[in-house]
Structure 1
Amino acid sequence: MTLPHRLSFGRYNLLLEAVALLLTSIILFLAVWFTLTKLNQKYLDLRLAEATRVHLFLKQHLNDSQAALASFIKLPDAERTPKVIALFSTFSEIYRIDQDLRIAQIYKAGSQIRTFVGFSFATSKLSRYLAANGERGNFSEIMRGYEDDLPSIYLNIAAGDHLYLGRLNLDYVQNFLTQFSGYSGTPVLLVAQDGFVMLASDPTLRILALDLKHWTQPPSPYRTLTAGGRHWIPVISAPGALGARIVTLIPTEVLDTQRNALLIFLVTFIGVSLLVRVFKNMHLNRLFTRPIATFAAKMRDLERGNAIGDSVNINYRFKELADIDVHFRAMAAAIAQREQSLRESEQKYRVLTENIKDVVWTLDVATMRFLYVSPAVEALRGFTADDIMAAPVDAALMPEMGEQLKALVRQRAAALLVGKMPAEHFYCDEIEQPRKDGTTVWTEVVTSYWHNVPLDRVELHGVTRDIRERKRAELALIVAKQQAEAANCAKSMFLANMSHEIRTPLNAILGFAQVLARDASFSTAQRKQLRTILRSGEHLLTLIDDILDMAKIEAGRVQLHNAPFDVIGLMTEIESLFQPRAREQRLRLSVETAGLPPQVLGDALRLRQVLINLVNNAVKFTPAGQVMVRVEAVAAGIQFSVHDTGIGIASNELARIFDPFTQTESGRRVQGGTGLGLALSQQLVRLMGGQLRVESVPDVGSCFAFVLPLAAVTAPEVAVMMPIRPVIGLMPGQPKCRVLIVDDLADNREPLRALLESLNPQPPVLEFREASNGQEAIDLWEEWQPQVILMDMRMPVLSGEEATRDIKLRMAARPDTVRSVVVALTASAFEDDRQHMLACGCDEFARKPFRAEELFGILERLAALRFIYAEYAPPVPVLLAADVVQERLHHCAGTWRSALKQAVDLGDFEQINALIKTLADRDAALYATLAHWTDQYDLDALLALWTTENTSQ
């Protein structure tokens, strides 16, 4: 192998110094050149800015002269006296000329003037200027006058039929050019178009003419003009109003001084740098380079095994080398001992790897070749270890995975080299590998990367394990999961179909029951029977909804809809819902709230469902006593608890009380049921972030409680909803509304039509037609144009979904047709179906069995129908028992109770009424009871409160 050519340190250092000096000189030269260019440009810009003032200076003086002549012309002849004319001393001559260009009058004349009245300019050089009427009022070019052959500037101004001519000799211009030059320090020349110098602010320069073509290029410090023993940079302007160019001469002394100073600095810097480097290299060679060369020679002696010698006879400079020799020989002996230990460790490692079932291997990442493979590979893949090491790594991989895995290995190895992956990091991958017999085997490969610094390579160390049995178990688990999902899907489909099949006849039952309930001709017994039908139907519908909710929870299809709501308002609704039933059973139902925020964030509908289940069970299983619902703020959120004094639950039944379709023995004895309420409530509470707990003692009572993390929110105050008033009819006189009822079952169409016809006034507001499938609905829409379509979704021939899409498309294509409102009526109970039907074009969604008030609300909102409502009667307050009144009075303030007792003893009902009004906001039930006794003047009931108290004491 040919060794690369090596330079000595001294030469290499000298080369670096020379390159550094050259680069420094180039950079410094460029910096000086750039600085000179910028300084020159700045200097020229300043001087050019001053030169431009000459134009303004000259133009201002000429404008003043022109204004003076114009003022003179405007004077009447009587006022043009010699004193006045003397004021216009700018002009050397002033004439009035007739139409033939003859002098009609001379107002001012120079001392050497050769003109006279009657003199004609027709043959002079001024003839063209005077004959150019379009240029009147402008100065002429510089020309030599016939009068005295001196360069002059003329100005003609027309006034009526006369033409006035003023002459300015160049002495006037010479004066202010000299003034400007003295002010700016810059000589100024006035040069004619032919290049001859007409005027010069400094006559000593003796410049007679300029080559305008040569000097009209942009000014540069490298193109100069020599005059008066100095160098100048001429700046030539464009021809001005006088037909001449103004040449400004910029001196170059400042630029020359700057250039010379910078060049001297550049030469001095390079010379000093060169001297410093020569001096440094001389000392570097003596103090560093030569000792390094000697040190290298001693290292060659160490390499050949030659002893350096005793430290006594060795130059003191190389005592460190003698120490290096001693330590080097000790290191060689230590290396030999470690090699022996490594051979022994390798033998133990080989015995271990060759006797385990897992395959141990090492791979060179750069060549993608195996460096070592344990013999266990033959049992795993059928290839011997030598076969694997002789073949490329692709043979150990599936064809479609080879390049991908190799790229991943190289990527991880690169991460190790740049320090983005610790050396002790392990990877675990599952890889399918081919076997010798053509089959494949799934393996788990655990790998780690190691940078072998001595060999300068990255090695991949790994252990391959057979995981065929685990893969079979995983496959069986996947199949079982798919079967479970299929069964769950089939269950959901069955429940959906069951819901539809049960809701369809219930729609007719509850629909006709709602129609009959509005018939005033029924007797009290018949009305009671109708209420039983409605209540039983509603119970069956609730049962179906509970079953579906359980199925949706198990399938993970239940989603919470969190929104701000009023907890106190919800509890008031729960109380009003169960108070009549509690009153029938002679139970005392109370709702207590404490420390609740105005509004919280949560799913009010699901919370209401849970509370209804719990309170319903409490009322149902409490033969006597009370049911108390308490809601209070706690650290974890809001706690809800339902206490009752009912039959209780045995301890051996508490463990399975929340199982679906499970009832306790006492529950089956009191009243049947499905056993779904508590199971569903527990699942819903868990979804909302809580846990439903129960405590119960047989024949004493039960307590169900849970805490929900309902956060307080700031939201607009929710309006208090008024109680729903029953609809008793349609307002007469409204525009007629055509209603199309579409359903494949007549039993579903008839109750809808009967319900709406029962409200129809005379003359009728509603007109009805019916269709038994979607195609009939489309045909009737084309023929009859209904304003409202009550559309069933599941029908033969053409479904309600397809019919709705078709009708909406026809409405969109024909803007002149009626805008029909389509209300979807379906027995489906899934929220997904609602969204799907609204997306199909339906304007609203109502479930079967339909509820009359819900249907009326839809027609009022979408079809603009106006209904007649029954008058609202406020609920009769629930009166408390005397012992409850006495117990609640005991918690009132002592001074207030003393005042109330004194008023009762005196029989002062006015004072009694004033005192009990303070209870209206704090305890509505207590206030209602005391107010009722006060209104009835029932003094005995009031006196009994204290009589009973004294007796008990």
Structure 2
Amino acid sequence: MTWQYNPYIWPLAISAIVAWAVAIYMWPRRKSAPGGFPVFILLICAGFWSASYAMEFASADLQGKFFWNKIVYLGIAPVCPLWFLFALNYSGWSPRNRTTYLLLAIEPVLVQIAVWTNFSHQNFWTHIELVYQDNTPVLMHKYGTLFWIHAAFAYLLLIVSTVVLIQLLIRTSHLYKRQVIAIISGLFVPWAGNVIYLSGSSPFGNLDLAPLSFTLASCILVWGLFHSKLFEAIPIARETLIANMPNVVLVTDLHNRLVFANPAAQDLFGKSVTRKLGQSVSEILPKIWQTLEHLKEHTHTEIELQKEDAVQHYELYFTLLHNRQKHLSGHLIVLQDIGKQKETEERLTELETAAEQANRAKSIFLANMSHEMRTPLNAILGYAQITADADNLQERHQRAILAIEKSGGHLLQLIDDILHLSKIDSGQAEVNLVGFDLHKLLQEIGRMFKSRCEQQSLNWRMDIALDTKHVTGDANKLRQVLINLLDNAVKFTSKGEVTLKVDVRNNDQIYFEINDTGAGISQTDQQTIFEPFQQKTQDKPEGGVGLGLTVAMRQVELMDGNLSLKSNIGEGSQFSFFLTLPPGKSPTVKLDTIDWSSAKRLAEEYAVHALIVDADETSRKEITEMLKQIGATVETAINGQDALHHISNQMPDIVFTDLRMPIMDGTELLKKIHQQYGKVATTLIAVTASLFDHQRQGYLDMGFESLIDKPASEEQIYACLLEYLNVEFIAEDNSAVPQDPTDIDLTKIVLPTDLYQNLLRATDTHSITDLRTHIEMLSTLGHTEQYLGQQLKELSEKYDMAGIAEILEKLETTR
């Protein structure tokens, strides 16, 4: 390798020295300005580019010049990616992970590979030769495909960088526009140098102006960052803002020492707080410190502070402070005075409480008044119906009595609606969650409104799609909501049809929809239709005072639902709502209403296989004798392990197990059965002598169906058979065991359709004579029906038609 003198060496050497000198200046300041570190590396690469390019001019032979030409690309390749990184960092879009940096490093690495392996593929330079210009050897080369790909990528990064900085210029405040303009101006210097050189129109012959232009651009960039004096406006503005801020501002360091307090903090804590800077917050502001110990990273809370003789309320905001390297550097505490806000809130609370108490008092009065009016009104209606059945009434008397019945029925409905509404408003209404048969409830309502629709020449349609039959919810409130909505639909529909649609949407969400083809409801009326005593303005039918929809909406809301309405004039109406009704068990008879003294044995069609598990022999024998005397098959085991042996041979219908036993106790036995045979394989009843009330729910949650206290009685054992195995008992005379007529198992009663319809019609029309005639027919159907008749008769004597209707809605009919 030989050397020569070339005048272009001097500007390139000066360019390298300047670039590295500015880099040295930049090093301690690289973290104080956005994009400082990429600029520092950019200056190193620009200086290396100029220095290696100078060495190429100093070489006199082809081998030397080509070697230094390849060295040049160690500085060229990273320059544009670094400029791009600076633009992103300076604009606030700095990459948050290392992936972006690695992707940007791929192209410079590939360039090095292409440059140093060009001899094998000649795709970066296709031709290289040494020519003499004015007796000076110059390296001439023709660029290949890989070079132009590299050039395109570099120009693309410069274009994107320019666009990013121009966008920043557009959105930044006027204080920073001068700085951004300076940086953009510096970016156009390498643009111009590259275009001049690649176009071959450089006035300096074969000198590539790029290293000089990038060095100049970097220097302009550094000048824009540090010497445009624009950053000096930031602390001035910041100090002015904080000094005039009404909120208290405190700053602590990593050691929880107070390092800053604004004038508002001095007003609150005293002038001495500034003299205590550097001390621990726990010492000078203990109340603040106690609150901070209970806060998380970014949060706020209310705090009470003593100022002079008064307690003041503040909202405390606590934020972690991080430096540009995302390292925690301290804490920011801001206190905002919310005294007036608290006074307003307390006043509003007082007014709201007073309004609620007044509304509750009104509702209680209405509820009591409605209840007191209902009793004499039932008597009036009852005696009016009895009088109407007399044979010697004149026609004018019959018309008068009919008017009494019609007006009384209207008033009774009004009282019922007021009673329901006032209970909800006064907070007396509660949701009674029980297991019930939803499908059966819907069928009962369907039969009721099918008859109503037929009387008005309307079509009745039900569309029921349920995955489960038994659900948990308030059956009575759901029934009343559906009846109110359907009654409203039938009342306002003169022709067409009324439809009830029910299906399951999400999980336990059940959707109810009532559609009619009536006159529809105007948009104006829809704004007030759910308010009390509001009705649609057009086509008012006789009867009704506008409470049915109000009661329905309130009861749906009470069950955590939302009643919606869609309607247009002439297109009918649609009422819909969702209710959460999780799976549940069907209700059964109350166990304490059975006359167990007459229960002698199981009915012939029932067979019970029971397993008694107890370490105490006396307890085993007692329960065994109780079950054997009614005809049950009984096996015994002394612990859970012994019980599993019996179960492996034959699964019992029911297991009575003690909880405390050696080897394997009752809870472990339950777990084993559930693991090996499933949770519905058999019924498990816990029998124990050592159980506190607060422990009972825990064992029920484990999977025990019920818990019996020792010593177990016949009533408790037999009641479990009735409750969980649905058996029937017979008395000594082979008759069914009688039950309390006020609480019979309605799920087991199936009435003839004609009788059911007659009972329902007599109840709807308040016809006492017809009702009692049909009730007498129940005694001819069987024991259970006889007890039902006794209950209905007692209700009819009290003229409690609503109670009778509620019972009838729960009954099944033959098809």
Query: Larger Cα Rg: Structure 1 or Structure 2?
Result: 1
State the TM-score bracket (shorter-chain normalisation): 0.3 to 0.5
Higher relative contact order, chain-length normalized (CA < 8 Å, sep 6+): 2
Report the TM-score, using the length of structure 2 for normalisation: 0.38
